[in-house]
C-alpha cells in the first residue's frame, strides 16, 4: 500500500528524482511472483498514481520498457562462461 503521492511532474526537481518512485513500483511489480490478476491490479494502481501526479501513461510505459530492457541485457551478460585451470597434485 502506498500514499499515492510522488514528486509532481511540474515540480522543479531533476527528472530522475521525479520518476524514482515509479521505477521502484514497476521494478517491484516485475520482480515479485504475483498472480496475473494481482499484477494487472497493481499496474492499474501505478497508472492512477501517475495520472494523479501529472505523468502520462506513455511515460510510465516507457519506464517499464527501459527496466525490462535493462534486465534482459543483464541476464544475457551473465550467461558467459569462464574457465579456470587447476593444477592436479596426485
Number of domains comprising the chain: 1
Does 83 score more than 60 pLDDT?
A: yes
Domain containing residue 31: 15-70
| pTM of the model as a whole | 0.73
Q: pLDDT band at 87, cuts 50/70/90?
A: confident
Dump pLDDT digits (tens) for 31-70. 889 999 999 999 999 999 999 999 999 999 999 999 888 8
**Domain contains 84:** no
Residue 50 lies in a domain: yes
- Residue-wise DSSP of 21-39: HHHHHHHHHHHS---HHHH
In this predicted structure, what is the pLDDT of residue 73?
Answer: 76
- Pairwise CA distance, residues 35 & 30, whole Å: 11
Q: Is residue 3 part of a domain?
A: no
> Is 75 part of any domain?
no
Which of 39, 20, 29, 42 has its CA nearest to residue 71? 29
Residue 54 inside a domain? The answer is yes
Amino acid at each position: 500500500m502506498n500514499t499515492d503521492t510522488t514528486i509532481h511532474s511540474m515540480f522543479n526537481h531533476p527528472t530522475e528524482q521525479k520518476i524514482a518512485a515509479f521505477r521502484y513500483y514497476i521494478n517491484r511489480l516485475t520482480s515479485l511472483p504475483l498472480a496475473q490478476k494481482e499484477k494487472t491490479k497493481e499496474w492499474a494502481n501505478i497508472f492512477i498514481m501517475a495520472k494523479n501526479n501529472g505523468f502520462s501513461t506513455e511515460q510510465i510505459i516507457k519506464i517499464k520498457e527501459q527496466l525490462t530492457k535493462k534486465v534482459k541485457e543483464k541476464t544475457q551478460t551473465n550467461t558467459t562462461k569462464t574457465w579456470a585451470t587447476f593444477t592436479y597434485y596426485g
